[in-house]
Structure 1
Amino acid sequence: MKRSYIREILDAIDENTISFAGGLPNEDLFPSKQLKKASKKVFKNKNSLQYSKSQGIDSLREKIANFYTKYYDFETSKDEILITTGSQQAFDIILKSLDAKNLVVESPSYIGALSAFKILKTNIQEFKTFEQLENILKKDDVIYSISDYQNPSTNTYTKKQREEFANILHKKDVYFIEDAAYSLLSFDGKIRKPISRLYKDKSYHLGTFSKIVAPGLRVGWIRANKELIEKILAVKESLDLHTSTFNQMLIDTYLDENDVFKHIKKNAKNYKKRMNFMADCMEKYLPNFEFKRPKGGMFIYGRFNNIDDSMNLAKEALKENVAFVPAEVFYFDNQKSNEARFNFTNCDFKKTKKGIRLLAKLIK
């Protein structure tokens, strides 16, 4: 079992590295003052340091459920929410609860999910088109997909595509894991309806506070029907009993006292500016890097038309203290690729420009 390439990169970089590698939110946008205020209130409650329910504290699950009902038009109760230690844990507990042997993923796909799937020795197949997907899927297979601002491709499914996707799920009678880590980071402010809303009985919709509040708190969730929640709850209890009580109460109190959507819109506005600046730099200094400007999320993804292997470029760039992620690691079979992913949320404009110019110099 190999470590995640991105985690290894994050361990290797230092304060001198210009990093476009990890999906790191911008630290300057963390609601630090609000969380500090909330923490003082939480510390007054002795239960914040005590064991708590494996499924998660009631009031936080209630808030998340209300969000689904109000904003996703996806009727949900708190009993259909399970709090996880980051959304990364969700992959592990879902697959263990299903004892899944066959898994189908988008190509390319999120490296964190691929790592979780591989360690469980799951048979993985990939799809690029709906036609391929329909031909591959068999009853009770598991399919994993990111429907909004996909990591790494930045693709977002249209309303028509979501309906077509859901029709395939119904036809094949499979289990569906829908990852919504980036769904709220929309540059146009629209909240798109999840595919799971059209396929409720065998779907798991994953969310996280990592991208919209702070990743260090490691609080995510799964939305699924009660029967599925009961199955994954038993697996959750075998791993960590429950997600940090204090961190759950901290986020719960923060949500009570602040408008999180105002905070999210502020972040998305900032990220859009950063994305456009990086895109402008790429068009100027890397004219052979072909990409489309994303409509949300945290990444720019594209292909180098003047090199064959982005992994070699990534290794050379790291020697010059510039980090990005070659697409090879986003394919379950690690196929060679000239594609690459760049994070635009965690570097200031000066470093972004310097990093892109250094890459251009290396390629030249």
Structure 2
Amino acid sequence: MKRSYIREILDAINENTISFAGGLPNEDLFPLKQLKKASKKVFKQKNSLQYSKSQGLDSLREKIANFYTNIYALPTTKEEILITTGSQQAFDIILKSLHANNLVVESPSYIGALSAFKILKKDIKDFKTIEQLENIINKDEIFYCVSDYQNPSTYTYTKKQREKIANILEKKDAFLIEDAAYSLLNFQGKIKKPICKFYSEKSYHLGTFSKIVAPGLRVGWIRANKELIGNILAVKESLDLHTSTFNQMLLDAYLEENNIFKHINKNAKNYKKRMNYMADCMEKYLPNFQFKRPKGGMFIYGKFNNIEDSMALAKKALEQNVAFVPAEVFYFDEKKSNEARFNFTNCDFEKTKEGIKILAKLTK
């Protein structure tokens, strides 16, 4: 089992590196003042440092359930929410609660999910089109997808595609793991209904505060029906008993006093400017990189028309203190690719321009 390429890159970079690699939110947008105020409130409560419920803090789960009811138009109760230590943990506890050995994933797919699937020795199949999905998924197998601003491809399923996927899964009696890490980061503030809105019986919907508040808190969640929650709760207890009590109470206090959607919209507007600036630089200095501007999320994804192996380019770029992620790591069979993913949220405009210029020289 190899380490995640992106985590290795994050270990290797230093203060001199221009990094387009990890999916890092912009630190300048973290609500530090609000969280500091919330932390003072939480520290007055002794139970903030005590053990807590394995399923998660009641009041935090209630607030997350309200997200679904009011934002996704998917009526949800706190009993249908389980708090996880980051949404990354969700992959592990869901798969350990099911007997399925076969998974179907998008091609390309999120590296963190692929790593979680591989370490549990699951058999992975991939697909490019929804028509292919219908032909390869079978009863009680698992379909994993990122429905909005996919990591890495940035693609978003249309409503028609979501309904078709739901129909396929219902017909095949398969499981759905729907990763919604980026669903709220829409540049126009438009939130699509999740696939599980159309297929809820055997579905898990994953959310996280990492992309909308701060990743260092490591708080995510799973939305599923009560029976599925009961099954994964036993697995959760065997791993870490519960997610950090203090961090849950901190987020709960923050949400109590602040309008998180106002904060999310502020982030999205900032990210749209950063995305457009990076895209402008690519079009000007890196014309051989073909891509479409995303409508949300944190990445630009495309392909180099003048090179065959983006991994080789990534290694050369790192020697010049520029980091990006070659698409090879997003394919479960790690096939050679000329595609690449660039994060636009973490670099300032000056470094973004400098990094793209360095890549332009390396690709000539």
- CA deviation profile, 1:49-83 (whole Å, cap 9, x unmatched): 00000000100000000110111110100000000
Q: Deviations over 1:168-195 (max 9, x none)?
A: 1111110000000000000010111000
Task: Look up the match of 1:120.
Answer: 120
The unaligned stretches of length 5 or more in structure 2 are: none
- Aligned letter for 1:82? L
Q: How is 1:1-364 mapped onto 2 (pairs within 5 angstroms)?
A: 1-364=1-364
Paired residue type of 2:342: F
| Aligned mates of 2:101, 2:127 — CA distance in 1 | 17
- Partner-residue secondary structure (3-state), 2:192: coil
Shift of 1:99: 2.7
Count of aligned pairs: 364
Unaligned runs of 5+ in 1: none
For 2:96 and 2:248, how far apart are their aligned partners in 1?
A: 24
Distance 2:127 2:234 in 1: 31
TM-score when normalising by structure 1: 1.00
What amino acid maps onto 1:290 in structure 2? Q
What one-letter code is carried by the residue in structure 2 that aligns with 1:239? L
Question: Using the alignment, how far apart are the partners of 2:129 and 2:205 within structure 1?
Answer: 21
Letter in 1 for 2:296: G
> Secondary structure of the equivalent of 2:144?
strand
- 2-structure distance, mates of 1:159, 1:103: 23
Q: Distance in 2 between matches of 1:342 and 1:100?
A: 33
When the two chains are superposed, the root-mean-square deviation of aligned CA atoms in Å is 0.4
Residue identity opposite 1:67 in structure 2: F
Q: For residues 78 and 176 of structure 1, what CA distance do their matches in structure 2 show?
A: 20
| Ranges of 4+ aligned residues in structure 1 off by more than 6 Å | none
Distance across 2 between alignment mates of 1:71 and 1:143: 24
TM-superposition CA deviations, 1:262-288 (whole Å, max 9, x none) = 000000000000000000000001111
1:290 deviates by 0.4
> More deviation in 82-91 or 66-75?
66-75
Q: Secondary structure at the match of 2:134?
A: helix
Residue type matched to 2:173 in 1?
Answer: D
Measured in 2, the distance between the counterparts of 1:304 and 1:139 equals 39
| Deviation of 1:100 (Å) | 2.2
Letter in structure 2 aligned against 1:68: Y
Once the two structures are superposed, what CA deviation does each residue of 1:226-266 show, in whole Å capped at 9, x if it has no partner? 00000000000000000000000000000000010000000
- Once the 2 structures are TM-superposed, how far is the Cα of residue 131 of structure 1 from its aligned partner? 1.2
The residue identity in structure 2 corresponding to 1:144 is Y
